[in-house]
Amino acid sequence: MRELIQLEVKGHTLWGTYHPATAAKPSRVGFLFLNPGHVPRSGHGGLSARAADALAAQGFPCFRVDLPGLGDSDGPLPETTAELYQFVCGGGFVEVAQAVHAELLKRHGLKGLVLGGLCGAATTSLYLADRAPEGIEGVFMFEPEFYLSEQEAAGAGGEAPPEETGKATLRSRLPLRRVTSKLFSYWGWMRMLTRENEYARLFRYVPFPRQFLLDLLMDWGTLPAVANVPLVRAWQRVVERGVPVLVITAEGKLRDVFFDRIHRAAFADLKVATLERLRLRGTNHIFTTGGAIDACIGHLSRWAGEHFVEGAAPVAGMPQVAELHGAR
């Protein structure tokens, strides 16, 4: 069962979908799905809608809300998608998402919400979990992007952006090491080696030391010049606080490889007990091939049952990074 909902927040009228929990005793923890990039709240291939249905069947109230200008919600939009991506990278939707979060908690009497979604939804959710953690029980991030838009990085001359200068309470204790590699040499090789540009076709049938070159390119202990440093800092702080986080990526693709480098640079050898990291084989960025949508929903449902069911025993001995291969 689904219900259309309307939210009046920060001068915006937003539209969303409410999936009431179908269990006899609903959980006081709900799930909130935000827009994946500029895509409506249903998500690519219905990922968000189907995932919310599955979680509601487990007893979790679920919500999918269109942010201003996206889906059914009115609001200003930039002229190009590149500008929208820069807006999301900088946390432009965080203030509205925070107001949505507060309104849903109040309206439904919930203890907290688990936030997330694909791509841009993961970015906004991570920023929000860092800046306003009260009432945020966890974060799920599908194909998160920890890099700047290529246009913004180019405008910075290929250099990593300056770190934010917030209050001392917002600083992570962990160091970040950065390099200032040339943007286009690094970015071009990354896109080719993860088979995400036009030149990758040339090497499909030709022997090519892809992994060797990838290892050579990736200085695993440092951040690349195109890293979104404020988002990486938010990542450090959220994980340091022990917030349960689920990360799912498409194995071998750009965001998968980039996340590995970001995570290693941000945490080095620190064990992260509350992070679960999964890779789905044989799929794309939006999980629409290889049965990945079903696999993603299955992993999310299991993770939700392990962490957010009241009275459930905590998961003991979870490794720093749990890697499961195969989308089926």
- Cα angle 44, 96, 64 (rounded to 5 degrees) comes to 35
What residues pair up with 101 in beta bridges, in sequence order?
Answer: none
Residue 114 near residue 138, CB atoms below 8 Å: yes
Residue 299 near residue 246, CB atoms below 8 Å: yes
Strands 136-142 and 275-280: unpaired
pLDDT, position 282: 95
pLDDT, position 302: 98
pLDDT, position 310: 75
Residue 323 near residue 279, CB atoms below 8 Å: yes
Q: How far is CA 239 from CA 141, 175, 257, 272, in A?
A: 13, 14, 19, 7
pLDDT, position 148: 85
Per run of 10 residues, the mean pLDDT along the chain (length 328 residues) is: 96 97 92 94 93 97 97 90 92 97 97 97 98 98 87 47 44 57 46 50 47 48 81 94 97 90 80 90 95 97 94 40 38
pLDDT, position 262: 87
CA 127, chain centre distance (Å) = 10
Residue 175: CB partners within 8 Å, gap ≥ 6?
Answer: none
pLDDT, position 37: 87
Domains of the chain: 3-153+227-307 (3.40.50.1820)
CB count within 10 Å of CB 184 equals 12
